[in-house]
Amino acid sequence: MNTDTKTFETYESEVRSYCRNFPAVFTTAKGSILSDEDGRQYIDFFCGAGALNYGHNNPYIKKRIIDYLEQDGVLHAMDMYTAPKRAFIEYFENEIIRARGLDYKIQFVGPTGTNAVEAALKLARKVKKRTNVFALMGAFHGMTLGSIALTTDADSRAGAGVPLYNVTHIPAPYMFPALDTVDYMERLITDDHSGVEKPAAIVLETTQADGEPALLRRREMAEEEAVVHRVRALCDKYDILMVVDDVQVGCARTGWFFSFERAGIRPDIVTLSKSIGGYGMPFAVTLLKPELDIWKPGEHNGTFRGYQLSLVAAKAGLEYMLNEHVEAGVREREKTVAKFMREEIETIDSRIETRGIGLLWGVDFGKFEGDISKKVLDEAFRNGLIVERVGRGNAVIKVMPALNVPAETLEKGLHILADAIRTVLAAE
């Protein structure tokens, strides 16, 4: 491999990160396959950190984008009324929100997930007239000052440059089995000696994506749902808003369009980004119950909250998801991954732990000495597989393929990962 990365290393900021794990110059992509300028192909189990749920250059969505460009459709419109915005709103409200028995207004917030989270925080504090919020340890919510205050990863927080206030971090349910997380939150709220301000909102991912992944990693699904139900009840009891961050695990990643659907709850505010853009397009929305919509015009805005090509791609992505029964397909593919993790990965070494849901899985090397996960990532990449590292100490390999990944590609990628683990551990 003769990869020329000198231009990037010379002129691009040292802040770059993912490229350091994947030293190749990529040129083309189709479905679940990335190709570099040397003609090498890689199976993509990273999927743009969840922005490419329907694979690279999905032909259904691509056609809609090309058609719109060829007719000289408006591309930038701030928050003015446009035909693509109306089409997206009507389709999303009728086919996604109301079809699931939900009732939300849509706020267009800007191009990224952190925009959606910032809007949710501002609105929750505005509605409840309180500054504090609760967030779970192990979560990742974004890199701007409000969202990074929710995030617990030390390396992420280190870049803020200022104190990060107005958030109380709560141990996630899996962290201390003897601690009842919901009871703990209630005690903080009710105890006049807790020293903790009653929150405006409790912000959580029903499935932690970058933190572990998985919210309750060693418990059955029924228990996970019970915790989420209890958080919902706690919020109702004490006049607190429940905010679910579905930026990474929404859009069918867990086998349901909204990750919270499996629990049958209704959050007050929901944040969506990444794959809501359909094609890897920059797009984010914050969903809010109608009674919470007390914004004044322009009180939260952004230049690119009206990027029309994203609206076109987003609607096409939703159509593709529903037409191709992607949710059911994810639940079916989950069986393949779960079986492989149990029979082919965990059996390599008793110290390896796996966990996941839908097409979001983690292989945890936290019980090993040394940086095993980095060695596995590197070995997998050398053999044509792209995966990410997350979690505490970056000890977890995250497996996140496209939701429509062909069965043979899924199997091949999983086998590359298993072989990489065996190679690395044999050398230790």
Give the SS3 label for residue 279: coil
Which phi and psi angles does 401 have, rounded to 5°? -75, 170
pLDDT at 223: 60
Of 323, 358, 388, the domain-final residue: 323
Q: Report whether 272 contacts 310 (CB < 8 A).
A: no
Q: Tell me, yes or no, whether 252 and 283 share the same domain.
A: yes
* Model confidence pLDDT, tens digit, residues 226-264: 888 999 999 999 999 999 999 999 999 999 999 999 888
Q: What percent of the chain has pLDDT over 90?
A: 87
pLDDT for residue 224 is more than 70: no
Residue 216 has pLDDT above 50, yes or no: no
Q: Which two tokens stand for residue 160?
A: 């803020």
3-class DSSP state of 248: coil
- Residue 60: both structure tokens together: 């259904």
**In this model, does residue 219 exceed pLDDT 60?**
no
Domain boundary (268, 301, 323) is at: 323
pLDDT in tens, 371-405: 999 999 999 999 999 999 998 899 999 999 999 99
pLDDT for 116-170, tens place per residue? 999 999 999 999 999 999 999 999 999 999 999 999 999 899 999 999 999 999 9
Which residues are 285's β-sheet partners?
108, 272
Average pLDDT taken over every residue of the chain: 94
- State which residues form the domain around 80: 73-323
Q: How confident is the model at residue 218 (pLDDT cuts 50, 70, 90)?
A: very low
Q: Using alpha carbons only, how large is the chain's radius of gyration in Å?
A: 21
Q: What is the CATH number of the domain that holds 254?
A: 3.40.640.10
Q: What's the Cα-to-Cα distance from 157 to each of 162, 288, 355, rounded to whole Å?
A: 9, 27, 26
Domain of 393, CATH number, reads 3.90.1150.10
CA angle 23, 26, 28 (to 5 degrees): 160
Pairing of strands 388-390, 105-110: unpaired
Can you tell me the mean pLDDT for 188-205? Answer: 97
pLDDT at 217 over 60: no
Statement to judge: residues 318 and 364 lie in one domain: no
420: left (phi over 0), alpha (psi -120 to 50) or beta: alpha
397 and 271 part of one domain: no
Residues 265, 392, single domain; the answer is no
Task: Kindly report, residue by residue over 52-63, the tens digit of the pLDDT.
Answer: 999 999 999 999
What is the model's pTM?
A: 0.95
